[in-house]
Structure 1
Amino acid sequence: MVFWWWYVYDAYAPDIFNQGGWIAGSGGVLAVVAAVALSIRRAREVRRAATYGSARWASREELQQSGLLDPDGVILGQYGRDYLRHNGPEHVLCFAPTRSGKGVGLVIPTLLTWPGSAIVHDIKGENWQITAGFRARFSSVLLFDPTNPASDPYNPLLEIRQGEWEVRDAQNVADVLVDPEGSLERRNH
């Protein structure tokens, strides 16, 4: 439409249309230059970014500083010939699909090297069969399996003393199982 106006009225006011043409043309060229410059800038930013952000494998020095190469703790993995272990007060969670090696790679090695007490939820009994004999050399080992009549029995209600302590002992057993106030003061439930 602008070009039609320009064609019809250019003879009457050529300076106005020439000046307007220069303004419109330079605006268009400036827009193209800005678009190309921003595209180049964006391409450079994308090239610098990694697919996984800034994540990378830790160096041996970083592993030593974090305490993951210490000789004690829960086994998390392996770095070369060294085991990566966590020996802090924090919880450890391993999340992986079935048959991915959690038991063989983490649980069993930890049970064979862990010097302290361990309570293991072992539905199949594999961890018990592999580690109980070795752990019995330095610790008392008990199997609690409510579906197995040969297992060690445990009934927390038998911990309640008869007599004047009955009510308080029953409350203690209930408090161990549940935190009624939700205060999280007793985090070892």
Structure 2
Amino acid sequence: MSTVSSLFTLGNAIRALLIIGLIAVFGVVVQSCQKPKSGLERLSVASLSKLTVLETPPPQPDISFSSTTDEVMHLSDYRGKVILVNAWATWCPPCVAEMPSLNNLQNQKGGEDFEVITISLDNKKEEITEFFDKNGIDALPSWHDGTYQINGLLQLPGLPTTVIYDRSGREIARLLGEAEWDSPEALALVDYLIARSNN
């Protein structure tokens, strides 16, 4: 009985409180020493939670693509705009699922400062036109890469992959997988990137 009561003495209680207090202070110090989140990291929430910012992003490669009407495009043609490059294919279910939200994003934010660029890896260009017509995709370009060079040059781990470039062609961030590109967080991300690149 006396052994049990001696464990719960005032001295032991004070020591326990001091230890708990020191642990709490240590936790606060460690947290305050962590690198603060950047604007992009703060916006990487909800459907954009897989958005990653690379420490040393690769330079924008010199890639050319053709449209369903045989027009030729180079990524460098879009310098001066923030661009969201989405690699996709009609045979990829997550790509198909996010395409309407990319179309909405282009309708809402596309213009002088921002552009959504979709590049299909389908076997035939006609598959893009058929898909766009059938699904009411009316704001996105029908660029096509029949050579699959985009996989290596953009270092794509899979489809869909979205790469975002600033006005000078520097990669800002990328997202592997499907996202809701017309969600409030995506619209806020685009506004942030446009405002940041104007400074």
Please say whether Structure 1 and Structure 2 have the same fold, judged by a TM-score greater than 0.5: no
If asked which structure has higher relative contact order (CA below 8 Å, sep 6+), I would say 2
Structure having the higher strand fraction is 2
Q: Which has the larger radius of gyration?
A: 1
TM-score normalised by structure 1 residue count: 0.30
TM-score normalised by structure 2 residue count: 0.29
